[in-house]
Structure 1
């Protein structure tokens, strides 16, 4: 998998966390950069860890489906992309726009885990393509750190609108990358 594809995947994987961060930033009166960077680090760590877990699961199954690995990667990316597009087209729920004040660390951790499930599925797909999982996980974690930090800082001004559009874009990127993986394998380029 190319470096550019990994960068695109990393930012696509971080869009749901970005949407949460925008909503969180919108609920804060005056978000501080130190709070934003701590939250970004938490989300980035979790988002970087989960693809490695998915990859370990995928490596265990790789021998069973080696002939169809490119179809598995394409299918996972297609499903994740369509899911993100579907979520991006939904109207925000009432409680999505206003999170309770004084939200505890554990609630943020649970939110980080919830937004990283797609990264675990992505890691599963990584087991079936030529990718350095440590490099990919680091890129996903760093992209999420940046996107969540920016989301919190921009949230007050931008509101949830940009978060939903980010999910749409992220979903489209995943579908394009999945299509490129399938194309490379079918044409014998990889």
Structure 2
């Protein structure tokens, strides 16, 4: 049986990816199941692998990872979110933003939203579930929420037009700022 701590951790870690998936969904003209599953697989894959990498790095490097993870996440989310805001501002009213689901942008977003999972991997051995089970649960929850987030994001898109992409971008920038503030202010 999977410990409630592991499930709570999985949902907590998946929220960054879910927010990014909402933005991706708002930016796509008509997200297909293939696009949604790709977003879910990339985000879920990163969220599954990063804790394992963190665990493998061990406690010796925990201070180094913890010292920079928030800066990396902030910088990447600022770049991605800033680009989304820029696309929304430069598009004419009623015009699509032109954002495409490129693997490179998805890879960067997947990495940026999973950097905190790297640091979580170090104390993962303290949980009730084995490390690999915990990583699988984290990946599966992120996969499900991110896949759904693409479709939910697109549902919001027609209601708010090009501004949905801008709002998604602002959300990513705010998420990066939140991560930075939480780690620097304690």
- Change beyond 3 A, Cα 1:147–1:25: same
Q: Which residue of 1 aligns with 2:6?
A: 6
For residues 101 and 140 of structure 1, the distance between their equivalents in structure 2, rounded to whole angstroms, comes to 28
User: Where do 1:118-129 residues align within 5 Å?
Assistant: 118-129=116-127
Q: Which ranges in structure 2 are unaligned for 5 or more consecutive residues?
A: 74-79, 88-96, 157-163, 180-186
The Cα shift of 1:128 comes to 4.6
Q: Deviations over 1:33-66 (max 9, x none)?
A: 121012211111111000001111225x39xx9x
- Change beyond 3 A, Cα 1:3–1:53: same
Aligned length: 150
Q: Which residue of 1 aligns with 2:45?
A: 45
State whether structure 2 residue 105 is matched by structure 1 residue 117: no
The answer as to whether partners of 1:56 and 1:127 remain within 8 angstroms in 2 is no
Q: Deviations over 1:150-184 (max 9, x none)?
A: 110110224557x78xx7xxx9xxxxxxxxxxxxx
Q: Which residue of 2 aligns with 1:146?
A: 144
Q: Which ranges in structure 1 are unaligned for 5 or more consecutive residues?
A: 66-71, 85-91, 172-190
TM-score using structure 2 length: 0.64
For residues 126 and 58 of structure 2, the distance between their equivalents in structure 1, rounded to whole angstroms, comes to 7
User: Where do 1:10-89 residues align within 5 Å?
Assistant: 10-58=10-58, 61=60
User: Where do 1:149-168 residues align within 5 Å?
Assistant: 149-158=147-156, 159=164, 160=167
- Change beyond 3 A, Cα 1:127–1:4: closer
> What RMSD, in angstroms, separates the aligned Cα atoms of the two structures?
3.8
For residues 108 and 150 of structure 1, the distance between their equivalents in structure 2, rounded to whole angstroms, comes to 16
TM-score using structure 1 length: 0.63
